[in-house]
Amino acid sequence: MSHRTEGVNTERQSMIAQKMLTTNKRQKTENISGKTIAMICAGLLVIVVLSITYFIASKGLSTFFVDGVSFKEFLTHDKWDPEGEPSAYGVLPFILGSFFVTALAALIAAPLGIGAAIFMTEIFPGFGKKVLKPVIELLVGIPSVVYGYVGLTLLVPFIREQFDVLGFSLLAGGLVLALMILPTITSVAADAIEAVPQDLRNASLALGATRWQTIWNVVLHSALPGCLTAIVLGMSRAFGEALAVQMVIGNTTKLPGGLLEPISTLTSGITLNMGNTIQGTPYNNALWSMALLLLAMSFIFIVILRLLGRKRLAK
């Protein structure tokens, strides 16, 4: 009887193994169709990105190859007067304005964002996950025009009264952008800190380190690539922001002279002037060249993020 039972079990196991090894036609069809759809979507995405890049590059490069504007003059001269006689296409004030306002926003938001992330994950994780994280997610969803309007009605008058200046300034733009990118930096940095293994914390505490020594020397050191990624993500958003910055910086074509001086950025210059130009004119092509600079900076930010991601995976 036992031999018979063993034979039945062996036969059943062989049948199960045969079914598992036999290719299911329906499953094979689903796999092929799924791969095909995924490849089509990925191909369309690549085509869209290449098309946008080609369109902006073809328009932007016309300034140099069709209109005869010097590339060096375009990047290094500080006079912007496309409708003058003679016309001038120096975008240095816009470039410096974009970099300065982005750097100021990062200097303000990075310590606050990483500090908030430490508070959420290491100091009061329960309160941070239940209260702070939903609040930060709400801040991410606020439209940029709301930030700009708040800066225009509250921040600009405050700066005007306190420092006896116009109010529209690099400082106002940096503060508004810092508030905008703070949720992004906080969220990404919190995820990076949470990803640090608990064993590292326990080992540090077991060796006699205090809580703050563990956070500073172990947790932040291990999460450094992720925190840098958060800062770069915030800077990339700040660099491409247009409406909120445009409402509070003054939009002048002069070189930045200080924190309280009005400036202009590449994004504000494009949005303010593109509607007043005719397609194909040197003025219009120069604005497309500014858009090409923004696209190039976006690619640079992406490359930096990729490098930081590789470093994080290596660690």
pLDDT tens digits for 97-135? Answer: 999 999 999 999 999 999 999 999 888 888 887 888 888
pLDDT for position 135: 85
Nearest-Å Rg of the Cα atoms of the chain is 28
CATH class name, domain 74-314: mainly alpha
CA angle 207, 212, 217 (to 5 degrees): 65
Place of tokens 């329906």: 26
Task: Identify whether the C-beta of residue 253 lies closer than 8 Å to the C-beta of residue 264.
Answer: yes
Lowest mean pLDDT among 18-27, 59-68, 114-123: 18-27
- Helix, strand, or coil here: 195? coil
pLDDT for position 20: 56
- Could you tell me which of 80, 121, 107, 50 has the C-alpha nearest to residue 259? 107
pLDDT for position 25: 67
Average pLDDT, the chain: 86
pLDDT for position 22: 54
pLDDT for position 101: 94
pLDDT for position 124: 86
pLDDT for position 133: 83
Residues near 150 by beta carbon (within 8 Å), at least 6 away in sequence: 176
Task: Identify whether the C-beta of residue 218 lies closer than 8 Å to the C-beta of residue 190.
Answer: no
Mean local confidence (pLDDT), 53-59 = 92
Mean local confidence (pLDDT), 296-314 = 77
Q: Is the peptide bond before 86 cis (omega within 30 degrees of 0)?
A: yes
Task: Identify whether the C-beta of residue 189 lies closer than 8 Å to the C-beta of residue 113.
Answer: yes
Distance CA 209, CA 2 (A): 64
Q: pLDDT tens digits, residue range 170-184?
A: 999 999 999 999 999
pLDDT for position 252: 87
Which tokens go with 214? 């563990």
Q: pLDDT tens digits, residue range 30-47?
A: 788 888 999 999 999 999
Q: pLDDT tens digits, residue range 238-250?
A: 888 888 898 999 8
- Helix, strand, or coil here: 68? coil
Pick 130 or 5 by higher pLDDT: 130
Instruction: Give, as one character, the DSSP assignment of residue 24.
Output: P
pTM (predicted TM-score): 0.83
Which tokens go with 142? 């606020």
- Res 64 pLDDT > 60: yes
Mean local confidence (pLDDT), 266-291 = 89
pLDDT for position 19: 58
pLDDT for position 149: 92
pLDDT band at 8 (very low <50, low <70, confident <90, very high): low
Domain extents in the chain: 2-60, 74-314
Task: Identify whether the C-beta of residue 245 lies closer than 8 Å to the C-beta of residue 265.
Answer: yes
Q: What is the DSSP string of 235-250?
A: HHHHHH--HHHHTTSB
